[in-house]
Structure 1
Amino acid sequence: MVLSAADRFGDAEAVVDGPLRLTFTELVHRIRCAAGAFAELGVAKGDRVAVWAPNSAEWIVAAFGLMTAGGVLVPVNTRFKPDEAGDVITRSGAKAVLVQKDFLGLDYSVATDVPVIDLKSGFLSQGSPFECAISGTDIADVIFTSGTTGRPKGAMMNHLQTLRAYEEWATLADLRRGDRYLMINPYFHTFGLKAGLVASFLRGATMLPVAAFDVDTVVDLIERERITMLPGPPTLYHSLLTVGDKSRLASLRAGVTGAADIPVELIRRIRDELPFQSLMTGYGLTEAGNVTLSRPGDSPEDVATTAGLPCEDVEVRIADDGEVLVRGYNVMQGYLDDPEATAEAIDADGFLHTGDLGEFTDSGRLRIVGRKKDMFIVGGFNAYPAEIEGFLLEHPGVAQAAVIGVPDERLGQVGKAFVVCKDGHAGLTAEALIAWSRERMAGFKVPRYVEFLDELPLNATGKVMKDRLRDSVR
Structure 2
Amino acid sequence: MEFKNVAFGPTQTIKTHNSDGSILFRLNSELKPFPETITDRLREWSIQQPEKTFIAQRNKEGIWQELSYADIYQQMCSIAQNLLDMGFEENDTIVILSENSLEHALLALASVHIGIAYSPISPAYSLVSEDFSKLRHCLEKMTPKLVFVQSEQAYTRAIQFIKNTFPEVTILVSQGDNFTNIASWRQSVFCDDVAQAHKKVKGDTVAKILFTSGSTGLPKGVINTQQMWCANLQQITQSFPFMQEQAPVFIDWLPWNHTFGGNHNFGLALHNGGTLYIDDGKPSSKGIEETVKNLREISPTAYFNVPKGFEMLIPYLEKEEQLRNTFFKNLQIIFYAGASLAQPIWNKLEELAIQTIGVKIPIVTGLGCTESGPSALFANWGGAFSGLLGVPVAGLEVKLVPLGDKWEARYRAANVTKGYWRNPEATLQAFDEEGFYKTGDAVKFLDENNPDKGLVFDGRIAEDFKLSTGTWVNVGVMKTKIISSGSPIIQDVVIAGLDQDYIGLILFLNIEACCKLTGHTTQVCVSELYEHSSVKTFINTWMNDFNAHATGSSTSIGKVIIAHEPPSIDKGEITDKGSLNQRAVLSNRKALVSQLFSHYE
TM-score bracket relative to the smaller structure: 0.7 to 0.9
Q: Does 1:9 align with 2:87?
A: no
Aligned to 2:552: none
Counterparts of 2:492 and 2:307, CA distance in 1: 11
Kept in 2: contact 1:260–1:412 (CA 8 A): no
For 1:205-229, what per-residue CA distance to the aligned partner results, in whole angstroms no more than 9, with x for missing partners? 1111123412222122122233333
Aligned to 1:272: 351
Aligned to 1:28: 73
For 1:388-423, what per-residue CA distance to the aligned partner results, in whole angstroms no more than 9, with x for missing partners? xxxxxxxxxxxxxxxx997473586355899xxxxx
- Select the residue among 155, 161, 175 that pairs with 2:243: 175
Kept in 2: contact 1:155–1:286 (CA 8 A): yes
Q: Does 1:75 align with 2:120?
A: yes
Counterparts of 2:156 and 2:343, CA distance in 1: 37
For 1:28-68, what per-residue CA distance to the aligned partner results, in whole angstroms no more than 9, with x for missing partners? 11111111122122235674211121011111111101111
Kept in 1: contact 2:117–2:206 (CA 8 A): yes
Structure 2 unpaired stretches of 5+? 1-40, 176-180, 465-478, 497-503, 505-526, 528-560
Q: Give the paired residue count.
A: 422
Aligned to 1:464: none
Counterparts of 2:67 and 2:97, CA distance in 1: 23
The alignment partner of 2:297 has SS state of: helix
Aligned to 1:215: 288
Q: Does 1:262 align with 2:341?
A: yes
So what's the TM-score if we normalise by structure 2? 0.63
Counterparts of 1:437 and 1:260, CA distance in 2: 19
Deviates more, 1:361-370 or 1:107-116: 107-116
For 1:420-452, what per-residue CA distance to the aligned partner results, in whole angstroms no more than 9, with x for missing partners? xxxxxxxxx999983795787766469699684
Q: Does 1:93 align with 2:148?
A: no
Deviates more, 1:88-97 or 1:53-62: 88-97
Aligned to 2:458: 369
Q: Does 1:245 align with 2:320?
A: yes
Counterparts of 1:454 and 1:218, CA distance in 2: 37
Counterparts of 1:15 and 1:265, CA distance in 2: 34
Are residues 151 and 354 of structure 1, via their aligned partners in 2, closer, same or farther at CA, if it must alter by over 3 Å? same
Are residues 453 and 338 of structure 1, via their aligned partners in 2, closer, same or farther at CA, if it must alter by over 3 Å? closer
Per the TM alignment, residue 348 of structure 1 is displaced from its structure 2 partner at its CA by 1.4
Kept in 2: contact 1:180–1:207 (CA 8 A): yes
For 1:224-283, what per-residue CA distance to the aligned partner results, in whole angstroms no more than 9, with x for missing partners? 233333211111211221111143132340321122022334323222213673432111
Aligned to 1:152: 219
Matches within 5 A, 1:92-111: 92-101=142-151, 107-109=157-159, 110-111=161-162
Per the TM alignment, residue 95 of structure 1 is displaced from its structure 2 partner at its CA by 1.9
Aligned to 1:324: 409
For 1:55-93, what per-residue CA distance to the aligned partner results, in whole angstroms no more than 9, with x for missing partners? 111111111011112211212112222331221122122
Larger radius of gyration: 2
Counterparts of 1:350 and 1:212, CA distance in 2: 40
Per the TM alignment, residue 102 of structure 1 is displaced from its structure 2 partner at its CA by 6.5
Q: Does 1:192 align with 2:261?
A: yes
Per the TM alignment, residue 192 of structure 1 is displaced from its structure 2 partner at its CA by 0.8
Counterparts of 1:162 and 1:200, CA distance in 2: 13
Are residues 273 and 455 of structure 1, via their aligned partners in 2, closer, same or farther at CA, if it must alter by over 3 Å? closer
For 1:126-173, what per-residue CA distance to the aligned partner results, in whole angstroms no more than 9, with x for missing partners? 643334221112111111122223322111121122112112213434
Kept in 2: contact 1:264–1:300 (CA 8 A): no
Counterparts of 2:563 and 2:381, CA distance in 1: 48
Counterparts of 1:270 and 1:137, CA distance in 2: 41
Deviates more, 1:264-273 or 1:230-239: 264-273
Aligned to 2:389: 307
The alignment partner of 2:340 has SS state of: coil
Are residues 5 and 73 of structure 1, via their aligned partners in 2, closer, same or farther at CA, if it must alter by over 3 Å? farther
Kept in 1: contact 2:279–2:294 (CA 8 A): no
Runs of 4+ aligned residues of structure 1 deviating over 4 Å after TM superposition are: 102-106, 414-418, 429-433, 435-451, 453-457
Matches within 5 A, 1:408-423: 409=487, 413-414=492-493
So what's the TM-score if we normalise by structure 1? 0.79
Counterparts of 2:144 and 2:49, CA distance in 1: 33
Aligned to 1:290: 375
Q: Does 1:234 align with 2:307?
A: yes
Counterparts of 1:5 and 1:152, CA distance in 2: 35
- Cα root mean square deviation, aligned: 3.5
Aligned to 1:337: 422
Q: Which amino acid aligns with 1:226?
A: S
For 1:375-398, what per-residue CA distance to the aligned partner results, in whole angstroms no more than 9, with x for missing partners? 9xxxxxxxxxxxxxxxxxxxxxxx
Kept in 1: contact 2:379–2:391 (CA 8 A): yes
Per the TM alignment, residue 17 of structure 1 is displaced from its structure 2 partner at its CA by 0.7
For 1:103-133, what per-residue CA distance to the aligned partner results, in whole angstroms no more than 9, with x for missing partners? 8788432434122322343254264333422
Are residues 350 and 150 of structure 1, via their aligned partners in 2, closer, same or farther at CA, if it must alter by over 3 Å? same
Deviates more, 1:81-90 or 1:286-295: 81-90
Kept in 2: contact 1:166–1:199 (CA 8 A): yes
Counterparts of 1:51 and 1:162, CA distance in 2: 19
Per the TM alignment, residue 355 of structure 1 is displaced from its structure 2 partner at its CA by 1.5
Kept in 2: contact 1:229–1:255 (CA 8 A): yes
Kept in 2: contact 1:319–1:325 (CA 8 A): yes
The alignment partner of 1:54 has SS state of: coil
Counterparts of 1:259 and 1:91, CA distance in 2: 26
Kept in 1: contact 2:441–2:460 (CA 8 A): yes
Q: Does 1:66 align with 2:85?
A: no
